[in-house]
Amino acid sequence: MLNVSIYRYNPEVDAEPYMQDYQVDTQGKDVMVLDVLEKLKTEDPSLSFRRSCREGVCGSDGLNISGKNGLACITPLSSAVKGNKLVIRPLPGLPVIRDLVIDMSQFYAQYEKIQPYMINNSPAPAIERLQSPEERAKLDGLYECILCACCSTACPSFWWNPEKFIGPSGLLQAYRFLADSRDTATEERLANLDDPFSVFRCHGIMNCVQVCPKGLNPTKAIGHIRNMLIRSAT
């Protein structure tokens, strides 16, 4: 039997959060953490968590699993269980709505700030704006972000200043548009980032890289943004 400890908090009933212990029979199978949560949900319907695609694409089930942020649906028990114990908490740093469900408004507010859409005011061509294979290749490692918030909620700079520091996820997306040959708002985008908080609160500790379930590298993208700022300002 696997010992599972889960963060529980229902603000309508509980005065404060607590950890609830469960025992789950996984029949020795190396299932995903989400499978364990689903099984527990059938036994205790009051347990709340987000999930959708169950294959690491939608980004709904970002959780703190045995101390490390990750997606429950693609984290096998073999990589999460320590000493026959699995500890599941909500992603740290953002307000908890209930149990494992967090309020991601602050995260999305930072995402909105970087204008995550193509800006190009030149007349649209008849079919599409073309890119060379080399220009398109620059977007690899950037466009794959699924906004699960595992990286930003693993970042102390984002914990301390979530309303000022854009965070690794938002900055990865910022660079995704800065690097896009079809976008024409590069200067405007860079001007919005040159303050002591938006980009430069990143101290390069690389927690984001360590936890990203898609294997992306926000620290590298932040370095590229910094280099673009240096090129344009010196």
Partner 1 sequence: MITTVTSLGRSGLSDWLIQRISAFVMTAYLFFIVGYLIANPELNYSQWAALNSSLPMRMFSLLTMLSIAAHAWIGMWCVLTDYITERLIGPKATAIRIFFQLGMIAVTMLYVIWAIDILWGI
- Write out the residues near partner 1 by the rule CB under 8 A: 156-157, 160-161, 164, 191-201, 226, 229-230, 233
- Per the rule left: phi > 0, alpha: psi between -120 and 50, beta: everything else, 124 is beta
Contacts for 234 with CB less than 8 Å, ≥ 6 apart = none
Give least dist CB 89 to partner 1, A: 20
**Any alpha helices (H) in 44-197, and if so which ranges?**
77-80, 105-113, 133-137, 156-160, 167-178, 186-191
Task: Indicate the residue among 45 and 196 with the shorter CB distance to partner 1.
Answer: 196
Give least dist CB 147 to partner 1, A: 22
Q: Which residue has the tokens 């209930």?
A: 98
Q: Which residue has the tokens 């908490």?
A: 89
Task: Indicate the residue among 40 and 193 with the shorter CB distance to partner 1.
Answer: 193
Task: Indicate the residue among 93 and 141 with the shorter CB distance to partner 1.
Answer: 93
- Per the rule left: phi > 0, alpha: psi between -120 and 50, beta: everything else, 4 is beta
What is the rounded distance in angstroms from the CA atom of residue 118 to the CA atom of residue 53?
Answer: 27
Task: Indicate the residue among 5 and 161 with the shorter CB distance to partner 1.
Answer: 161
Task: Indicate the residue among 7 and 200 with the shorter CB distance to partner 1.
Answer: 200
